[in-house]
Amino acid sequence: MQPFASTIAKVFYGTLIHSASIKKIEFIKQGLLFIDNQGKIAKLLRNVSQDSVHASLEGVEDDKVVRLSEDQFVIPGFIDTHIHAPQYTFCGNGHDQPLLEWLDTFTFPRESKFADKDYARKLYTKSVARSLRNGTTSACWYATIHLEACKELVQIIQEQGQRAYVGKVNMNQNSPDFLIETTESSLRDTRAFIEYVQDVNTKIDHKPLITPIITPRFAISCNSELLTELGKLAAEYDLPIQSHLCENQNEIGFTMSLFPDSANYTAVYADHGLLNGRSIMAHCVHMKDEELDLMKEKNAGISHCANSNFNLKSGMADVRKMLSKGIKVGLGTDVAGGYSPSILEALRASRTASVARDADTTLLVAELFYLATLGGAHVMELQDTIGNFEVGKEFDAILVNTSTEDSPVDIFDHDDIESKFEKYLFLGDDRNNEQIFVQGKRVRLPGSSAASRK
């Protein structure tokens, strides 16, 4: 057997912060975190004093050891359970309109440009880099209907080193002429996309980071036949599924007029084989109790997109109720319904929404941090792989520094590591994300703070 030290690629010594559970943030002081050469967490020691650290590092070469300063700590990477890659091009635009009007005037015309794969490469390169540098180490991406552009997105995500679910969007009805498919072409291209990703994954020397995800845009844009066939494809290839659900009242009304045989909007997906433990439903703002119960029964997850829900005036989702029913919940930026590609912004909007809904049942900081990390891992059904620093999981993480040169966070003498961490959550941004890791490998992004610092 190989001696332990020879399998170690990196060690962090200092403060490590993660969710031990939804109610508890664990601050591991004087922690020693060992990452092996597969990118997995091999060992985690707590309270290792300066005097004994040398012995604990026996056999590990010094250049593999990162000694964190008083202003640095390591947290799990953020998980964005809902983001549209083509929509980064109009983040911050169009917030005077509600969902269906916003889709018609902003979203659909801009998404149609991704028929051009060179255009897609250029813009997707920016979308993915922006997401990564904000600390999103795992993302559930929507692309567009265009197969070639979807492949570009996969290549770019792979080049940049993010963990991702990537969906070719399906739309065969109630869509403009310039952004619509036939049932046949939609299914053919979806199958081709799945097989493309599977093929890409056979050509790499590490555990795959990219998974195709079945992505009916929402029930309005897919007829019953397409939804049924997509449910079958998900089962055939054993894939996750993502869509939008109960975002706004006009959307719900239109959906129920299209699918009068289903008991409610959530049931539309269930009735077409699209609601199960690997389903990720975004928004869920206006859910009836029976719909939440159906989500729970099917073990489907919810992507809470508070920033988007404010911007598109959709409303405020009842996350407290979702959690008390035991439903899996994570955070989504929903770029560009949400104007920010940062999960920190999603966390802040989630807090504001929860306070505005009911000040007595506000989401606590520990819960918000959980939703941004381990909660998202549960929604992606990757809780055994990522989400916190349990031994055996893969190391997806952010090395945060609250005192970088251009830090938006000011630190004072009274700030202990707990308060530095909270300040980062509420004031920090990508300028504090000094280094970003996915599966143990440092992500390097041209032009970002994460790359320019050592």
C-alpha span between 421 and 413 (Å, rounded)? 14
CB of 83 to ligand GUN, least distance (A): 10
Per rule CB under 5 A, is residue 434 in the interface with Fe ion? no
CB of 84 to ligand GUN, least distance (A): 5
Q: Give the nearer residue to ligand GUN in terms of CB position, either 218 or 269.
A: 218
Identify which of 20, 36, 138 has the alpha carbon closest to the alpha carbon of residue 390. 20
Tokens 């679910």 label which residue? 165
Per rule CB under 5 A, is residue 334 in the interface with Fe ion? yes
Count of other CB atoms within 10 angstroms of residue 49:
8
C-alpha span between 418 and 404 (Å, rounded)? 18
Q: Which amino acid belongs to residue 287? A: M
Residue nearest to ligand GUN (CB): 337
| Partner interacting with residue 136 (select from ligand GUN, Fe ion, none; CB below 5-8 Å by kind) | none
C-alpha span between 34 and 60 (Å, rounded)? 10
Q: Give the nearer residue to ligand GUN in terms of CB position, either 95 or 442.
A: 95
Contacts (Cβ under 8 Å, ≥6 apart) of 405: none
What is the three-class DSSP state of 133?
helix
Count of other CB atoms within 10 angstroms of residue 26:
15
Residue nearest to Fe ion (CB): 334
Beta strands at 24-36 and 8-21: parallel, antiparallel or unpaired: antiparallel
CA dihedral 168, 173, 179, 185 (to 10 degrees): 50
CB of 268 to ligand GUN, least distance (A): 14
CB of 336 to ligand GUN, least distance (A): 8
Specify whether the CB–CB gap between 274 and 230 falls below 8 A.
yes
Per rule CB under 5 A, is residue 71 in the interface with Fe ion? no
Per rule CB under 5 A, is residue 80 in the interface with Fe ion? no
Sites of contact with ligand GUN (CB under 6 A): 84, 99, 103, 107, 217-218, 244, 247, 308, 334, 337
Q: Give the nearer residue to Fe ion in terms of CB position, either 160 or 309.
A: 309
Identify which of 26, 137, 82, 74 has the alpha carbon closest to the alpha carbon of residue 424. 74
Q: Give the nearer residue to ligand GUN in terms of CB position, either 281 or 382.
A: 281
CB of 337 to Fe ion, least distance (A): 5
Q: Give the nearer residue to Fe ion in terms of CB position, either 72 or 311.
A: 311
Q: Give the nearer residue to Fe ion in terms of CB position, either 74 or 83.
A: 83
CB of 247 to Fe ion, least distance (A): 8
CB of 171 to ligand GUN, least distance (A): 9
Cα torsion angle, 217, 112, 232, 280, sign: negative
Q: Give the nearer residue to ligand GUN in terms of CB position, either 102 or 395.
A: 102
Which residues bind to Fe ion, rule: CB under 5 A?
A: 334
